[in-house]
Structure 1
């Protein structure tokens, strides 16, 4: 038979031998070390480059993307000023405004190899304008990206008028995941009830939970433990995510050790957001300044599933960014002191297999026979070089169809004494033993 696509000489993550990958009807059909006898409509020679399952953005706020400076810039750089500015921008939201910005940003992510996105959508709006727009976007982009929507109460479930009713309405309209924000409620008791309500709503709609939790430097903000306890008590293991959890970086080690063990027992996921976490946290410190990122390395060592999100892209909280999850992983590598060789490989998993587990899509994710042919070819031979170079994503495929291509950058050195081109590859020509 003739296959639709044949990828030759591909290198898979953590595998030393090159393989060929045959794709038929949008699925991975055959994977083996030498399939040269097969015929295909299209053949791509990966030439030893890394072929990876698609990147996953486990936490982003698409409703706010590309609003930086509207109506003003965040001069203090704090999380609270960002929330205040977003509150000033929200009244001017329209369906057209939201869709225009979101569709542009999703194109950025897809072009850089991200084909799965979980977006938190602010539902503290009586009209639910952003949510209604994103529900339309979810359907419009299904050919290039799978989008999960989280009902996110930016101003609190209890602290915002009719917060409970708006959360319920958001779920009825079609949100995939229940959110929460316990540390931002007015009181601790209200924060605890925020978590309890999120669980009751999730059980009613039989869906997963992903709460912004303890996104603060306050060592006394301890709602993650409430989430873990509810997870165990409600039997929701594997279906609950704590996003940010930055206060964990400020906890004393004895309490952090206890909490990490509880998270492992609850089979909770933790999603860190290195861009926003390092920019927004530590703003009230002099020196030393806290990094703001949760204890990624220690969580992984304890068996807790950790993934990454981009969080903000040119909005009131983070004025920069372009939606590159590989860049987010590189930053996490720096901030979390994960520079050992095996640790670098583990960082790559934070935006691939770990993130798939957090989004509970692992049954249809990965380069395996019988799974959807979603993948990308990077202009690098392995994860180590990918995280070092942040190379071009040369080919991006969804369900066996190429949805994006990028041309590899080419740098040429011009020497005074030599008229011949000298191509600079940024890859060492010699390696130490």
Structure 2
């Protein structure tokens, strides 16, 4: 394999640019000046090198279903109803086609690790079988984790535990629960316990959807934290959404923070989907639709930022860009201080990687050459512009290249009050 030499690229937090030589899938050398006549040269001027991003919560089976049926109310309930109608139409080839389109786009956006939520309701394992095949076939390009997700619940009519166990048998990495969608609060609590019982018996990861509601008294996230700690499963547990905490009283919020700090479980916020879906049934003033990230950040509770849906019955848009998700999170969470912006960048890189149990990555000699080159030198630029990486490398090879976007102004900006005739 021909070496690649990246010239004059910035390292995060460093003042002086460096050269980086990639060879045999590894970072072979980092130095102020490297000469390698046989290498393919890449100009890194104006770019910053960093490890690739990680997506902690994405749905591939529902992708592009927005093209088939419209969610006119924009609510979670209508989204679920539409998905119930469309799910039986899935075939393995259709799921793989959807996944190929979404993963391909997200790879160009610098994402190389994905935790995928796969609906197994009704015992339909079509999507899981298709994605297990893709996980094995695509290891050279990406890391894929598959979570068996019981959209119809565990205790309210559908045998979610049996379906998730079957999914684990064919290759799922983890299981889930949706306690806020169960018929009663008791069934919601029971579903959490049953989920952990199965996880411990099958040695599976737990990633629960909780409190994706505007009901201020929905407190399943706190329960998950306590149960995870009781089972000794806190390092393998995550909770997505947790929007209800936005409306929680200060007393309840203190209790939740104490449980989260004590357990150390990870949270995942999905700003794009939840900001447009939550609050639909409330009168003004409405919340911002996301968990209280600023308070969680101050308490050093690990939170990842995820893309979630992609043109699905739950969300008709989708860019595949975690930087754009981070951009929205900065606005919704009012996270504009320099330190906060740095932490938001970690929410799409190191934090989700740890959540997924992946090894830490760094830009150092001897490390795997999985890299991205972003325009700019600081989080304000990366998040503010939210541009796709100029280059994406996987195992020392160029995986993606996005040309620099430039604009040419055809009129002169006036400096005085002269009238411009158009």
- For the aligned pair, the TM-score class normalised by the smaller chain equals over 0.9
- 1:334 paired to 2:331: yes
Aligned to 1:425: none
2: CA distance, partners of 1:14 / 1:79: 41
Q: 1:278 deviation in Å?
A: 0.2
2: CA distance, partners of 1:18 / 1:278: 39
Q: 1:203 deviation in Å?
A: 1.4
Superposed, 1:346-385 pairs within 5 Å as 346-363=343-360, 365-385=361-381
Aligned to 2:386: 390
2: CA distance, partners of 1:362 / 1:261: 28
Aligned to 1:294: 291
| Residue number among 60, 63, 66 corresponding to 1:65 in the alignment | 63
2: CA distance, partners of 1:308 / 1:301: 16
Deviates further, 15-24 or 135-144:
15-24
User: Is the contact between residue 214 and residue 282 of structure 2 (CA under 8 Å) also seen in structure 1?
Assistant: no
User: What CA RMSD, in Å, does the superposition of the two structures yield over aligned residues?
Assistant: 1.9
- 1:219 paired to 2:206: no
Aligned to 2:417: none
Q: Deviations over 1:207-248 (max 9, x none)?
A: 321100111111111111111111211112321101111111
Deviates further, 155-164 or 299-308:
155-164
Deviates further, 285-294 or 18-27:
18-27
User: Is the contact between residue 53 and residue 367 of structure 1 (CA under 8 Å) also seen in structure 2?
Assistant: yes
1: CA distance, partners of 2:16 / 2:265: 34
2: CA distance, partners of 1:29 / 1:237: 37
Q: 1:256 deviation in Å?
A: 0.8
Superposed, 1:14-413 pairs within 5 Å as 14-32=13-31, 34-37=32-35, 41-70=39-68, 72-363=69-360, 365-413=361-409
Q: Deviations over 1:251-271 (max 9, x none)?
A: 111211221121121111000
Q: What TM-score, normalized by structure 1, do the two folds share?
A: 0.91
2: CA distance, partners of 1:393 / 1:7: 14
2:39 counterpart SS class: strand
Q: 1:137 deviation in Å?
A: 1.8
2: CA distance, partners of 1:352 / 1:52: 9
2: CA distance, partners of 1:307 / 1:14: 22
When residues 392 and 223 of structure 1 are mapped into structure 2, their CA distance, relative to the original with a 3 A threshold, is closer
When residues 416 and 340 of structure 1 are mapped into structure 2, their CA distance, relative to the original with a 3 A threshold, is closer
Deviates further, 244-253 or 368-377:
368-377
2:61 counterpart SS class: helix
User: Is the contact between residue 212 and residue 242 of structure 1 (CA under 8 Å) also seen in structure 2?
Assistant: yes
Q: 1:182 deviation in Å?
A: 1.1
2:122 counterpart SS class: coil
Which portions of structure 1, spanning 4 or more consecutive aligned residues, are displaced by more than 4 angstroms?
A: 37-40
2: CA distance, partners of 1:185 / 1:136: 31
1: CA distance, partners of 2:229 / 2:37: 52
Q: Deviations over 1:170-191 (max 9, x none)?
A: 1111111221111111111111
1: CA distance, partners of 2:67 / 2:331: 29
Q: 1:87 deviation in Å?
A: 0.5
Deviates further, 243-252 or 228-237:
228-237
User: Is the contact between residue 92 and residue 129 of structure 2 (CA under 8 Å) also seen in structure 1?
Assistant: yes
User: Is the contact between residue 307 and residue 354 of structure 1 (CA under 8 Å) also seen in structure 2?
Assistant: yes
User: Is the contact between residue 228 and residue 266 of structure 1 (CA under 8 Å) also seen in structure 2?
Assistant: yes
Aligned to 1:427: none
User: Is the contact between residue 211 and residue 241 of structure 1 (CA under 8 Å) also seen in structure 2?
Assistant: yes
1: CA distance, partners of 2:368 / 2:84: 40
Aligned to 2:410: 414
1:120 counterpart SS class: strand
User: Is the contact between residue 208 and residue 239 of structure 1 (CA under 8 Å) also seen in structure 2?
Assistant: yes
